[in-house]
Each structure stands twice: as structure tokens, then as C-alpha cells.
Chain A
Amino acid sequence: MLRLIGRRLLLMVPTLILASMLIFALAEVLPGDVARSILGPYATQEQVDLLNQRLGADRPVYERYVDWAGGFVTGDWGDSLLFDEAVLPLVMRSLGNSLLLAGFALVLIVPTSIAVGVFAGLRRDSLLDRGITVSTLSMTVIPEFVSGVVLLYVFAVWLKWLPVTALPPSGSPFVSRFYYLILPAIPLMLLELGYIARMARVGTVQVLAMPYIRTAVLKGLPRRRVIFGHMLRNAMVPTVTVIGTQIGWLIGGLVVVEVLFAYPGIGNIMVQAAKNKDLPLLEASVLMVAILYMVSNLIADIVVALLNPRIRMGG
């Protein structure tokens, strides 16, 4: 088991290097000139060149990459051109905000969708199963900006049950943040519920058809023991893998929801950095999202290994 984790962690190093190169290269091909975008259209070409030189933007690409990557490892992430502050604390703060939102959404999504999916799978082909499948599927096809706007209007503007913003006023206790996050989390939940529930349902249906479930029933075990002791653990394997990939998306892909609710998360930051060609900020935040994506997949694989002794012991 430890060997499995160790090997996977080692494997992350080349992946990360490749990802950082890709991110750096993509940022390079963004149109526009760094100094020009800082100084604006009225600066003279000499001024622009001077700034470029000072920023090091005129050096060859690989030199700048090594510089940047080295700085990233040592914690020197540079300064944001846009916000005029060090990138590291800014990215970490936004990431913390996004993690809070994603984590809160996950806490809502995972138990609900698994329960719904398993429930449907246990009553396969019943009216209830079909009802669940149709309703969760139709929720999935509604884009989050549509459901977000509707929810915002109904619950915040019209009914006034929930706040319009996603952040409480400064000075409020930490717990109150969750109250403010309910509204942004719901569109995410609607989106993910159908997907994860379907995986849970398929896993349940497949495992219920396995001979060992028949063995468990025919050795006289109570139904709940068959479900919780023999079925669930094996049925959850594909679902856990899917959740792993969704975590990555929930953290880095929340651009729309964060913008809609004006939430200072990493998605929001990335959009602004891209729009304004704030390369140090953009590169660092994209790379952090990539790392989180890898970590969440690793965690999913570890959970799968915990569920499946064969993978766990195979090493």
C-alpha cells in the first residue's frame, strides 16, 4: 500500500514538469506584450523595451522557464502585475476560498448522490428508479449559470431567504461563511448529482448481479448486511474514481459560478489574470490547480485501493 502511494507520488513529478512546461508555453503564445499591457497604448516603444528588459521578458523562453520553475519550487512566485502584490499569498488565499466552496459542495453532493444512486440501483427498473434517473439527468443538462441565475433571483432577490453575495461581511464568524456558500453550492450540486448518482446506480446494479451477492443472500444474511457488508464496498469503486476527477473540476473549473456570485476563488483570479495578461499570477494559479487535480486523483486511487484488497496488496 505504501509502495503504491510512493510510486504514484513519484509518478507525479514528471507529470508536473510536463504540465508546467505546457502551462508556460501556452501563456507565452497569448497575444500581446507584457510591458505593453502594463504600460498601456500610449507608452513609447523604448519604454516598453526597457520594462521588458527589466522584467526579463526579452530573454530566451527556456531561460525564463527554468527561472520561473525554480522560483516556483523555492516559493518565489513573483508579483502579480494586476493586483500589485506577491503571487504566492494571493493564489493561496483564492485557493483556500475555492477549496472551501468545493469542499462544502462535495459534502452536499457525495452522500446525496451515492444514496440516490444506490437507492435507484436497489430498485432497478422500478418507477422510482426511472424517476430518479430522469430527474437527475435533467438537472445535469441545465448549465450552472442558468440554474445559478434562477436560484439567485428566486432565493436571494425574491424570497430573500439567502444572501446575494457569497462572502459574509468581514468580521463575521467563520461558520457564517457556509451560510453564504449555500446558494453558490446548489448549482454545482445539481450539475454533479446526476453524474455521480448514475455511476453509483450502475455500480450497484452490476454488483447485485454478481454470484457473491447470491452467496450472501443464500447464506441467510439480513438484507442490510448484504447491502452494507458485501455490496456497497464493491459497488463504489467506479464512483470513487469519478468523484476523484470531479474534485479537480470543482476546484479549478468553478469559473462561472465564482464570477456569477463574485466569489474571490481561484477560478475568478485565473480569468482576470488571463484577461490582463498577468502571467506570473496565471501560471502559478493554473499550476496549483493542476497539482490539486493530481492530488485528488491520487486520493481517489488510494480510496479505491482501500476498497479493493487485490489492488491494495498487489502493490
Chain B
Amino acid sequence: MSMPEHPLDPAGAAPAPGNAPPALDVRDLEVSFHRRGRALRVLKGVTMTIGQGEAYGLVGESGCGKTTLAMAAMRYLATNGTIDAGSVAVEGQDVSTLSEEALRKWRGGKISMVYQDPATALSPAMRIGDQLAEVFHYHEGMGKTEALERARESLRRVAIPDPDATLKRYPFELSGGQQQRVVIAMALAVDPQLLILDEPTTGLDATVEAEILDLIEELRGRINAAILLITHNLGLVARLCERVGVLYAGRLVEEGPARDVFTDPRHPYTMGLLRCVPRFGMNKTDAALQTIPGTLPALGEPLEGCVYSARCPMAKPVCTQHEPDFFAWPSDLGARAAAEAASKPPDPAAFSPHHANPVGESDRYARCYFSPEVPEMPHMTPVLATSLEARGAEGGNVLEIDTVRRTFKDGKKKLTAVADVSLDLRKGETFGLVGESGSGKTTLAKCVTGLLAPDAGTITFEAGELRPTAARRSQDALRAIQMVFQNPDSTLNPAWSTRSILTRAVRKLGGGKAGSVRAKVDKLSADVRVEPRFLMQRPTELSGGQKQRVAIARAFAGDPTLVICDEPASALDVSVQASILNLLVELQTNEKVSYVFISHDLAVVRYISDRIGVMYLAELIEVGGAEEVFNPPHHPYTEALLSSIPKLDFDSPRRRIALHGTMPSLSDPPSGCRFHTRCHRLLGDICKEQEPPFQESTTGHRYKCHIPPDELLAAQVADRPGPHAEAVAQATDAPGTDSADPQPAAS
């Protein structure tokens, strides 16, 4: 499976895998960063091979060394980084032996790269055409006209709508998706042997991400390049890559065909990663998310034995004494059993060497003595009972939003960010708000908190109408509605200790005497599991997860009734994200608080929400129970959004609904149904001319579309991929088993 399902080149003439040098050959690579005279090892003896035309996914949490590996291949380490041992070769040529001029030709010629944030990866003051043309000029010595002609061609290749106009544009004039297409066109300009994709879709909206993935998948059939995909998103790897490597603390801990690794992981870290991502269709009432205890070891921290042993729920004494080798699975079982029995490292002669041949007799490796037991790895988090009834959620609405509208001025244009949105939130409930950037989610949240005053409409909170701005609200209303933001770095004052931040919040929001304030701060920090020793530290000294816990504690300081969480876990690694989501669920059970939960991650929203609202272009287009909204019949936009998530799903054929065109402008929204310009279920002129009514489905949820529920259900079920479409429609919400079965979706 490691070699191609995809042809290696357009002609299909694949070079024999055994003879041709691999596209990337990394051997025993050791890389250190030097800080204050100390060498901190970032990569520890990494050996990996990518065959020609092969796609290899490298996964792991931030700080594991993924990008460092890519930069070593480019010979572009930071000035304090050094390669201490080992080698990196591309097509058999060692990168470290290249002269400066050869290295220049090599970069962009043999290896090229696509970056995480296309907006900053393109030169801001240079036209797209010039940025593309200079690649042809410096790599192929073309003159200006010829280079521009090739630039135009390369834009056509990545399906940019109007290549001639795009050549003359500046990066800021393009949408995020188009910018990334330009970066991809630039990377593929000179037909490289290796294409490195470093988080190519992180930060892009779901539907744009899906477009870019379609493009990469489609290009793979036409280019020669092997692919190294660096990502934290396991779903991306499942979709694009044949093989996957899992990196932890600078060590490759597991490697093998993507399907095998994801459906049957044999290293506890891989298993942990798979378990902490909410699988699509999973809800908090079914199971708590699994988390990985502890944190990633600090750079340069000395590690005895297995790098993962400190966090591993299966660690045994031998794990902390001797580091396991990269065992072939399952052929090295004997060597391991002997080692375990003797509690000593196994004889190197007894196990298969890793990568003697890129496509050797064994294609799965795991750096663990106890791979056979990984499927039975113990669960770390107890299941939480958090049904709505248990939370006492039956009584009335806590929040009623009635035809709220908010517009902004952009020069002479009027942008309507929230257009007559109405929705209710019940006591103790979590209301998930989803939609792409610019859909109005955050503006609506700011109207509720009073950070923005709505232009029209009313917001009723606990039976009283809220005044439009926070400055005019009562102290009690301010206390009762709190907010948790995406980035705790910018919401916690860096000059204050954690304790002062919480003390101030308790004083401001809760009042009370000095002694009780102190007790309350201690209780709060215990509730969010911030250890007392962290209370004396400043936010900058805390990890991302700890900071977000402090931010949550701050929001809960005045015993709020409603907490608005705006992407509270999106900037965090998956294992930390899981623990934050669990914390929010637990706090809700104990404190009887209601949440509005804003996120672009549908699996996360599905997991944590009782009801969900979908926004498109400032309008609420669908609202209802989490299960109803995410199953047919539902709004065509919701259907398209759901189809765009890369899932860890190898068996059912995928059918992605590609939306037409791009998001229309808020200053000039389409007539009739706002979604009609992009809809794949367009009925005809009625959609263009008449604003659709809210329709009610048999399950009681509402969506804004001209298609009646029974017709929509029939059409959507019929279009579901797979032979048992109807069964799938019924069963998607069944609680799955905990191991990585072929359902999960990564964030």
C-alpha cells in the first residue's frame, strides 16, 4: 500500500521502486537548537523514506519537530539550529553537500513548499504575476514575456477563475483559497520531485479547505512530485496519504500505511491522538473525550527510556529504563517478548531493521514494547453523564434573541453582519453556532455580551430585556453573561499573576469579603484544575491549555448564567482541546450554566452542543437539535459543510459537494435565498426571487429553504454515498466503540 494508487507521472511509466532513489531519504537525523549555550535536541535519530510519487503524512502535536524536519530538508534551519548527525537526501543527493548556488537551484526546483498561512506567504507589495514569473526567470532563465506566459499557465493548472486578471492582482486582493492556489502554483512551477505541504489548509474555512484538498488530490494525478504532508489533522492524512509517520518529542514513534495506522494503531501515542478527537456524530452524553495526561516534554529535557513513557497509560518499568527500538509490526514480537521478560533492551540483531528498503518486507513499525496491547489501552477519563435532564435544563429560556440586526460601515458600503437573527437558548443548554468566517457568528455573540449594540431587535435575558451596550447594563447582567475567547494569550493581562487575575475577577464580579475572595479563587482554580503553584505565575509562563483554563476560571468567577465560548479550543493541540472540552462539559454539569459555543469545527460543535444554529452570510439558516441539524433533511449549505470535513474514513466512498463560486459580499447579499448563488439543490427562479420561509421537519428542527422536508430528505438520502444510505442516515449517531473505528473525524 505504500506505493502508488496514483500514477507516478502522467504517462503512467512508474520507475521501478527498488532502483530509483527515493524522493526523500532521511537517515538518523539529529537536529538541535542552541539556546543560551545549551543544545536542545529537536529531532532524535529520525529515519524515514518517501518513495518517488508517494504521499507521506507526518503527524504529531505542535512542538514535536514536524516543521523542523521539513526545514532540514530545505536546509533552512533557524540560525541557531544545527544538524548534529545523520543525513537528508533528495533523489539520492545529500542536501548538506550542496554549494550555495546549487542549493538555490534546488530550492524551488527539486523541493518546494506550501505554507500554512497563504496571506503572509505571498509578498504583499508584488503582483501575483511577478511573483510567479520570477520562479521561471531564476530557475529556467526565461525572459519576462515567456515567464509571464508560463505564470499564466501555472495559474490555469490550479484552476484560478480568471488567470489574466489574477496575474495583475496583489495578494491582498485575493481570497484565502485563491491565495493558497497561487502558493501551490508557485510550488509546482518547476516540476519538483518533492512537495512539502506544511499545514496547507489550517486556518482556511471548511468549504475552502475542501476545495484545496480537491485540488491537491486532482494534481497528484498530473505531477511527478512526492508529497510530504505535515499536519495535526489526521483526517487530511487519511484522505491524501498512502503512508503516515507519527512524531512525538522528536522521535518517530509509529509508521505505516495510513489506513492500517489509523484503524489499528500500535503505539499508545497514536491511539491517544485518535481517541482525543471527537469522532463525527459523537455527543457529550455518549462519552467523555479521552485526553493524553501530562504535557509534551520541554525541548532538551533529558528523557530516560521511551520518550512517551511519562504520559503513557500502559508504561511498565522497562519503558522508563530502555528506549524501545523501531520494531516491525508484527514480525518483531518475539524480540519484544524476550525483552519484556528480562526487563532489558532487546538484542538489536533480533528485530527487523527499519527502512533497509523503502518498500521492504515489513511496512509497519512502532516504537513500543507493548504494541499488541495498544488496542486495549486503558481509558483515562471517566464517562460523564450530562444529559439535558441531569443538568436541570427543562425550565424555560435563558436567552431570547429577537430579529437582531447589526450593520457596519465600510467606506460608503453598508455591510450587514447580522441580518434579523432570532433564536432561543434554554436553561442549562449548549447552543452551537457554526458557519464560515464572515457569517456573523462573532458579531451576534458580541451583541449578546454588549460589546456591540444591535441596530435593531431585542435581546431578552432571564425574562428581562438587555440594554444594548455593556456600559449601560446592570452589574448583575454583566456578571451573568461572560465570554471565553479563542486566544487566551491576548485576553489575560501578561503583567499580572494568575492569582491577581482571578482575584480581580472575583472582586469585580462576585463581590464578597477578603477571606471569601481568597477561598473563591482557590475553589475556582481547583474547579478548572489549575494547580496552586501556577497561581503565582504569570500567563506567559503557562502552557496554552493552562492559560485557557485560567480564562475559563475568570469567566466563571461571578457564577455566570450564560457563557459565550468563541472558538475556545481551536488554537490548541488536539489532546489539550479534548481536556478543555471535557472541562466545559463538567462545569456545565456542576454549575448549571448555559453555553453559546461558536466553532468552525463541526465535529467539536456536534460533540458539545444540544442544539445547533447554522449561519450563512449574516442569516441564521438552520436551527434545531444537534442530531437533526446534522442529518437529512437539512439545509443544502449544512449538507455541503458536512461533506467538506476530511474524515478518518477509508471505507465509504466520499461524495463531496463542491459549492459554486465564492462567498458573496455582505454589502450586496444575493436576492431571494442568500445561498442560491452557490446552492447545489437550486430549484429555479423561486430561489432567486423569493426569500425562503423557515420549514419545519418532522423531527422539529427548522431550516430556511424552498424545498419541503420530505423532498429534501429523499434527495439527500439518495445522494448519500455508499450502498446502505438509509441505514447510514439512521446510524450515524449511534455511539461508537472507543478505539479508532472507521468513523472518526479529526479537527
Among residues 207 to 255 in chain A, which have CB atoms less than 8 Å away from a CB atom of chain B?
210-212, 214-222, 225, 229-230, 233-234
**Is B106 an interface residue, CB under 8 A from the partner?**
yes
Q: Evaluate contact between B104 and A233: CB separation under 8 angstroms.
A: no
Chain B residues, CB < 8 A from A309? 124-125, 170, 172
Inter-chain contact A310/B172, CB cutoff 8 Å: yes
Measured between alpha carbons, how far is A289 from B107 in the docked complex, in Å? 53
Using known A-B contacts A214-B76, A220-B105, A222-B104, determine if residue A307 contacts B121 with beta carbons closer than 8 Å: no
Evaluate whether A212 and B121 lie within 8 angstroms (CB atoms) in the complex, with A220-B138, A309-B170 already known: yes
A215 and B115 within 8 A (CB): yes
For A214, the chain B residues whose CB sits under 8 A away are 76, 115, 121
Q: What residue in chain A is nearest B104 (Cβ atoms)?
A: A220
Partner of A310, one of B124, B139, B183: B124
The secondary structure that dominates the A interface is helix
Q: Would B123 and A215 count as touching, CB distance under 8 A?
A: yes
Residues of B within 8 A of A215 (CB): 113, 115, 121-123, 183, 186
Taking residues whose C-beta sits less than 8 angstroms from the other chain, chain B's interface range is 20 to 34
Interface membership of A30, Cβ < 8 A: no
Q: Which residue of B lies closest to A216 (CB)?
A: B123
| B126 interfacial by beta-carbon distance below 8 Å | yes
Cα–Cα, bound, A229→B134 (Å): 10
Range class of the A interface residue count: 20 to 34
Q: Check if A221 sits within 8 Å of B170, measured CB to CB.
A: no
Expressed in whole angstroms, the Cα–Cα distance for A217 and B124 within the complex equals 15
Q: Mark out the residues of chain B between 99 and 113 whose CB falls within 8 Å of any chain A CB in the assembled complex.
A: 104-109, 112-113
Within the assembled complex, what's the spacing in Å between the Cα atoms of A307 and B126? Answer: 10
* B120 beta carbon closer than 8 Å to chain A: yes
A305 to chain B, nearest CB (A): 11
Contacts of A221 in B (CB 8 A): 104, 108, 134, 138
CB nearest to A315 among chain B residues: B411
Shortest CB–CB separation between residue B167 and chain A, in angstroms?
14
Is residue B535 contacting chain A, with contact meaning CB distance below 8 A?
no
B74 interface contact, C-beta 8 A: yes
Greatest chain A CB density within 10 A among B106, B108, B124, B125 is at B125
B106 CB contacts on chain A under 8 angstroms: 220
Task: Say yes or no: A211 contacts B115, CB within 8 Å.
Answer: yes
Using CB atoms, name the residue of chain B closest to A230: B123
Would you give the 0/1 interface string for B145-182, flagging 1 where the beta carbon is closer than 8 Å to chain A?
A: 00000000000000000000000001011000000000
Task: Report which of B125, B138, B172, B173 forms a contact with A222, defined as CB distance below 8 A.
Answer: B138
A220/B107 contact (C-beta < 8 A), A215-B121, A310-B172 known:
yes
What separation, in Å, do the CA atoms of A222 and B183 have in the docked complex?
19
> Does B55 touch A at the CB level, under 8 Å?
no
Q: Which of B104, B108, B124 contacts A308 (CB 8 A)?
A: B124
In B211-243, the 8 Å CB interface with A consists of none
User: A220–B120 Cα gap in the complex (Å)?
Assistant: 18
Q: Which residues of A contact B138 (CB under 8 A)?
A: 220-222, 225
Q: Considering only CB atoms, which chain A residue lies closest to B138 in the complex?
A: A221
How long is the Cα–Cα vector from A141 to B537 in the complex, in angstroms? 40
A313 contacts B by Cβ under 8 Å: yes
CB-CB under 8 A for A220 and B135, given A212-B120, A310-B170: yes
Tell me the complex Cα distance, A148–B201, Å: 60
Residues of A contacting B105 with CB < 8 Å?
Answer: 220
B112 and A211: CB pair below 8 A? Answer: no
Judging by beta carbons under 8 Å apart, are B125 and A233 in contact? Answer: yes
Q: Provide a sorted-by-A list of 11 A–B residue pairs whose CB atoms are within 8 angstroms.
A: A211-B121, A212-B123, A215-B123, A217-B107, A218-B76, A219-B108, A220-B139, A221-B104, A221-B138, A225-B138, A229-B123
Given contacts A219-B134, A230-B123, 9 further A-B contacts (CB under 8 A): A212-B121, A219-B107, A219-B186, A220-B138, A220-B139, A221-B104, A229-B134, A308-B124, A310-B172
Q: Contact residues of B with A, CB < 8 Å?
A: 74, 76, 104-109, 112-113, 115, 117, 120-126, 134-135, 138-139, 170, 172-173, 183, 186-187, 189-190
Q: Across chains A and B, which 6 residue pairs bring their CB atoms closest together, nearest first?
A: A220-B108, A219-B108, A220-B107, A211-B120, A309-B170, A212-B123
